[in-house]
Amino acid sequence: MNCLKTLTLALTCSLFGISAFSQSKYVYEIDLKNVKDDKVLVKLNTPEVQQEKVTFSFPAAIPGSYARKDFGRFIESFTALDKDGNKLVTERLNDNQYRISAAFKLASITYKVNDTWDERHKDFIFQPGGSNIESGKNFVINNNAFFGYLEEYKSLPIEVNVNKPAAMYGATHLEVNRSSAEKDIWYAKNYVYLADNPVIYAKPDTCSFYAGKTKINIFAYSVNGKVSSKQLAGYLKPISQALQNFFNGLPVDSYQFLYFFEDSERALTNHDKGEGGYGALEHNYSSLYYLPEMAMEPKIKQMVYDASMHEFLHILTPLNLHSREIAEFDFINPKMSKHLWLYEGVTEYFSHLLQLQNGLTDEKAFFEEMRNKIIQCEEYGVFSIAEMSANVMEDKWQKKYPSVYNRGALIGFMLDLFIREKTAGSKDLKSVVVALTKKYGPDKPFDDNQFFSDLIEASHPEVKSFINSYIIGSQPLNYNNWFSKVGYTFNALKRSNVFYAGRTPLAFDSGNRTFYFTEVEKNSLNIKDKDILLSVNNERVTEANAETLLEKYFLRNTDYPEVTVIVQRNGAETTLNSKLNSAYLEIKNYLGPSENTSDTQKSLLKSLAQTKVKALN
């Protein structure tokens, strides 16, 4: 593991001294040192243009994010110049495009970029796909938010010269010439590649390690310094090993994790109110995360497991398995694929399945996650997920897009079981998808309308009926039928007897690393405000098990009519014991192990959850 904490270069150079008229590439220059009003000055020395008129575009949408963004909204003072510095006539066609006249004279373009994170409105851009400008602190640069291209010259190579504070390090998968402490030069083979590789500049905190032959690079920016790259590396090593097992060797030479941990008190993350949300955005060779700082280490760990496993798995699809709509992405008028159920839904299912198979979570947690997805499904109703995918840019369908992470994941789970059953265990969803990546791969997109036929051919003829029912069709998912195959029972509404003490909320003291009761009301155990919880029924309370114990004995107690707790009160240990109150509780969308399971059910569950952990290097 190589940890970078300081930069040692001390040279400086001038940024805007490049003359690039009559060239066959884009040469961008950005100034991160002299930032005014949270805006970055950008200059582009353009490639040589032959036409009378050309169109300069900023993306309306980007791959991996299935909604209009209109990044041109954040561009100001757009100016086109000839080689003598004279202004050319420009016309703003829409939010994202400018028409430049006498374009054969064009030598340079200048404009200012405003960041997307600061603007709050109903069309707010989800943070991992946007940009943040905090002079002297950090710059989150999704390149689609900073740079544009000439429509007629979209495929030319790009060079970006960055004037930066010496104390800042720029983390990215892009090739970077770190020519001095105050200047970086990035290189991209074309605009699509540039947009696919985000950059974060901040005080350096980086680590790297190898997973097989793949170099895993980590960059962490934590607003209050609560999370470090070294800490994250500890979480990512078992994830990388799980993916090594999954792929039998990772299909990329290197991968970059870019993490931004926000102060959870100041973060605005209510997407319904136009305030974004925590999460991540995948790219082919990297992923960018916007996550909350948390006091409890186990919660950070699980959050990183869930988010990073999902994004890392995108190297399977869409990197190695995708349609022409993605391979030939139109940044202005994007055409959507009908296979979001695959790109996002199956990826989400695999992310939890791999945690189960590699001992990063247990069976109970896995099926609790499936139950949560059943609950989330109810919000979106019943519909064709293929139709939603193809039309996701329309407002009617855009509202249903989040369903790919719940309905899509459940479809992945069910399709996995279906393939295992129909092939007597000789195939599963993973083996089928991996086989299709070998047929196609990163440079050979599939035909969107042909893919279902490919999937059927690679799996089993009867998969056609599954596709017609649940992916193309809008048949309700029969949860009890599918979960019963692995020995689990689903009830839309179950009445259970529960035991409870009363209102006894628990809080975490991050300074003392203890759990204490707060806002307590009358309860059978006589717990009081500020009592520090030490143990429950002889189980010592730790950060690792606190949530489990809270649920087991206080929130969803169906097994323990009497509880003994030890608390620390006024500096002394006090034992509290009592029989608990009893009541009937109606549980919606109950999912739990069946009382009696057959050998067939047990065998299918075992094959699903089979652990394949190898020793970490």
Domain-embedded: residue 340: no
The residue segments making up the domain with residue 74 are: 26-202
Residue 606: DSSP 8-state: H
Predicted pLDDT at 179: 84
Instruction: Label residue 269 by pLDDT band (50, 70, 90).
Output: low
Predicted pLDDT at 65: 79
Do 238 and 298 belong to one domain? yes
Domain-embedded: residue 369: no
Strand ranges of the sheet holding 254-262, from the earlier edge strand across to the other edge? 206-211, 214-222, 254-262, 286-292, 279-282
Q: What are the pLDDT digits (tens) for 348-381?
A: 999 999 999 999 999 999 999 999 999 999 999 9
Give the domain CATH number at 508.
2.30.42.10
Do 520 and 575 belong to one domain? yes
Predicted pLDDT at 171: 98
User: Which domain-ending residue is among 159, 180, 202?
Assistant: 202
Predicted pLDDT at 615: 33
* Cβ-count burial 87-126 (b if 16+ within 10 Å, e if not): ebebeeeeebbbebeebebbbbbebbbbbbbeeeeeebbb
Domain-embedded: residue 93: yes
Determine which helix (DSSP H) or strand (DSSP E) holds 290, and give its type and residue range: strand 286-292
Spatial distance between the Cα atoms of 99 and 88, rounded to a whole number of angstroms: 10
Torsion 439-442-443-447 (CA) sign = positive
- Cβ-proximal residues to 195 (8 Å cutoff; 6+ apart), any chain: 59, 62, 63, 142, 143, 144, 147, 331
Instruction: Label residue 136 by pLDDT band (50, 70, 90).
Output: very high
Do 58 and 128 belong to one domain? yes
Q: Compute the 3-state secondary structure of the chain and give helix, strand, coil in percent, each to the nearest 5.
A: 30, 30, 40
Spatial distance between the Cα atoms of 537 and 520, rounded to a whole number of angstroms: 20
Cβ pair 283, 64 in contact under 8 A: yes
Domain-embedded: residue 192: yes
Q: What are the pLDDT digits (tens) for 272-318?
A: 454 567 899 999 999 999 999 998 889 999 999 999 999 999 988 88
Question: Six-digit token pair at 291?
Answer: 């996550």
Do 279 and 177 belong to one domain? no
Q: What is the mean pLDDT of residues 186-193?
A: 96
Domain-embedded: residue 502: yes
Instruction: Supply the DSSP string of 49-76, one letter for each residue.
Output: --SSEEEEE--S-BTTB-S---GGGGEE
User: Which domain-ending residue is among 156, 176, 202?
Assistant: 202
Cβ pair 62, 74 in contact under 8 A: no
> Residue 285: what residue type?
Y
Query: Which of 67, 134, 38 is CA-nearest to residue 274?
Result: 67
Question: Six-digit token pair at 462?
Answer: 């009867």
Spatial distance between the Cα atoms of 392 and 385, rounded to a whole number of angstroms: 10
Predicted pLDDT at 271: 46
Do 66 and 161 belong to one domain? yes
Q: What is the mean pLDDT of residues 115-134?
A: 85
> Residue 516: what residue type?
Y
Q: pTM to 2 decimals?
A: 0.89
For the cut 70, the answer to whether the pLDDT of residue 207 exceeds it is: yes
Query: Which of 290, 15, 32, 329 is CA-nearest to residue 159?
Result: 15
Predicted pLDDT at 611: 53
Q: What are the pLDDT digits (tens) for 394-452?
A: 989 999 999 999 999 999 999 999 999 999 999 999 999 999 999 999 889 999 999 99
Least confident of 60-64, 388-392, 454-458, 515-519: 60-64
Do 165 and 115 belong to one domain? yes
* Count of domains observed in the chain: 3
Spatial distance between the Cα atoms of 185 and 204, rounded to a whole number of angstroms: 17
For the cut 70, the answer to whether the pLDDT of residue 21 exceeds it is: no
Instruction: Label residue 605 by pLDDT band (50, 70, 90).
Output: very high
Do 110 and 35 belong to one domain? yes
Q: What are the pLDDT digits (tens) for 330-341?
A: 999 989 999 999
Task: Report strand pairing: 488-500 vs 581-593.
Answer: antiparallel
User: Which domain-ending residue is among 179, 202, 225?
Assistant: 202
Which position has the higher pLDDT, 92 or 121? 92
Residue 209 to residues 1, 254, 497: CA-CA distances in angstroms? 5, 10, 50
Query: Which of 230, 227, 233, 229 is CA-nearest to residue 219?
Result: 229
**Mean pLDDT taken over the chain:** 91
Least confident of 185-199, 260-274, 570-584: 260-274
Residue 493 to residues 377, 410, 549, 556: CA-CA distances in angstroms? 15, 19, 25, 15
Task: Report strand pairing: 199-202 vs 254-262.
Answer: unpaired
Give the domain CATH number at 269.
1.10.390.10
- Cβ-proximal residues to 600 (8 Å cutoff; 6+ apart), any chain: none
Do 118 and 156 belong to one domain? yes
Do 213 and 101 belong to one domain? no
Domain-embedded: residue 52: yes
Determine which helix (DSSP H) or strand (DSSP E) holds 355, and give its type and residue range: helix 347-357
Domain-embedded: residue 330: no
Q: What are the pLDDT digits (tens) for 163-185?
A: 999 999 999 999 999 989 999 99
For the cut 90, the answer to whether the pLDDT of residue 319 exceeds it is: no
Do 129 and 215 belong to one domain? no
What value, to the nearest 5°, has the Cα angle with vertex 71 and ends 70 and 76? 120
Residues forming a β-bridge with 226: none
Do 197 and 217 belong to one domain? no
Cβ pair 413, 372 in contact under 8 A: no
Do 162 and 178 belong to one domain? yes
Cβ pair 545, 539 in contact under 8 A: yes
Give the domain CATH number at 97.
2.60.40.3650
Q: What are the pLDDT digits (tens) for 548-594?
A: 999 999 998 999 999 999 999 999 999 999 999 999 988 899 999 99
Determine which helix (DSSP H) or strand (DSSP E) holds 209, and give its type and residue range: strand 206-211
Residue 223 to residues 133, 298, 611: CA-CA distances in angstroms? 14, 19, 37
For the cut 80, the answer to whether the pLDDT of residue 107 exceeds it is: yes
For the cut 70, the answer to whether the pLDDT of residue 67 exceeds it is: yes
What value, to the nearest 5°, has the Cα angle with vertex 569 and ends 563 and 572? 100
Instruction: Label residue 149 by pLDDT band (50, 70, 90).
Output: very high
For the cut 80, the answer to whether the pLDDT of residue 15 exceeds it is: no
Domain-embedded: residue 480: no
Predicted pLDDT at 13: 35
Cβ pair 458, 476 in contact under 8 A: no
> Residue 85: what residue type?
G
Predicted pLDDT at 123: 74
Residues forming a β-bridge with 239: none
